Amino acid sequence: MELNQRARWKVLPPVPDDYKESSALPTLVAQLLYNRGVKPEEIEPFLTADHRLEGNPFLLPDIGEAVGRIYKAVLSRETIALYGDFDVDGVTAVAILAEGLSRLGVTAMLYIPDRVTEGHGLSIAAIEQLHAQGANLIITVDCGVTDVKEVKIARELGMDVIVTDHHVPLQTLPCAAAVVDPKRRDSRYPYPDLAGAGVAFKLLQALFHKDGRAQWLNGLMDLVALATVTDMSPLVGENRYLVAEGLRELNRSSRPGIQEMVSLAGLRMGGLGCEDISWTLGPRLNSAGRMNNASTSYRLLTTRSRDEARLLANELEVRNAERQKLSSEVLAHARERLAAKQQLPLLMEGDESYSVGVIGPVAGRLLDEFYRPVIIVSLGPELCKGSSRSIAEFDMVEALGACSDLLTAYGGHAMAAGFTVPRRNLAALEQRLMALAGERLGDLDLRPELTIDAELPLATFNGETFDLMVRLSPFGRGNPQPTFLSRHVEVKDCRNFGTRREWLRLKLRQGNATWSAVDFVSRRKASQIPSFIDIVYNLETSRWNGEEVLGLNLRDSAPS
Q: Which fold has domain 57-216?
A: inorganic pyrophosphatase (n-terminal core) (3.90.1640)
- Band (387; pLDDT cuts 50, 70, 90): very high
Burial class (CB in 10 A: 0-12, 13-18, 19+), 74: middle
Q: Provide the pairing of β-strand 383-389 with 416-422.
A: antiparallel
**Sheet with 178-180: strands ordered across:** 109-111, 80-84, 137-141, 160-164, 178-180
Look at residue 1 in the predicted model and tell me its pLDDT. Answer: 39
Gyration radius from the chain CA atoms: 24
Domain with CATH 3.90.1640.30 in the chain: 57-216
- Band (545; pLDDT cuts 50, 70, 90): low
Q: Provide the pairing of β-strand 484-497 with 503-510.
A: antiparallel
Backbone phi and psi for residue 430, each to the nearest 5 degrees, phi listed first:
-60, -40
User: Crossing angle, helix 306-338 and helix 256-264, to 10 degrees?
Assistant: 50
Cβ atoms within 10 Å, residue 315: 17
- Burial state string for 531-542 with b = 16 or more CB within 10 A and e = fewer than 16: eebbbbbbbeee
Domain with CATH 2.40.50.460 in the chain: 8-18+449-559
Look at residue 405 in the predicted model and tell me its pLDDT. Answer: 96
Residue 397 has pLDDT above 60, yes or no: yes
- Band (4; pLDDT cuts 50, 70, 90): low
Per-residue model confidence as pLDDT tens digits over 183-200: 999 999 999 999 999 999
Look at residue 342 in the predicted model and tell me its pLDDT. Answer: 86
| Distance, C-alpha 468 to centroid of its chain | 26
Domain with CATH 3.10.310.30 in the chain: 342-441
Residue 34 has pLDDT above 90, yes or no: yes
Helix (H) or strand (E) holding 221: helix 221-230
Average pLDDT of the chain? 93
Would you say 427 and 403 are in contact if contact means Cβ atoms under 8 Å apart? no
Q: Which has the closest alpha carbon to 550: 512, 506, 517?
A: 517
Helix (H) or strand (E) holding 452: strand 449-452
| C-alpha–C-alpha distance, residues 535 and 560, integer Å | 9
Helix (H) or strand (E) holding 281: none
- Band (493; pLDDT cuts 50, 70, 90): very high
Cβ atoms within 10 Å, residue 363: 28
| C-alpha–C-alpha distance, residues 457 and 515, integer Å | 12
| C-alpha–C-alpha distance, residues 259 and 253, integer Å | 7
CATH number of 8-18+449-559: 2.40.50.460
Is the pTM higher than 0.85? The answer reads yes
SS3 state at 80: strand
Look at residue 389 in the predicted model and tell me its pLDDT. Answer: 96
SS3 state at 489: strand
Q: Which fold has domain 342-441?
A: Diaminopimelate Epimerase; Chain A, domain 1 (3.10.310)
| Distance, C-alpha 451 to centroid of its chain | 20
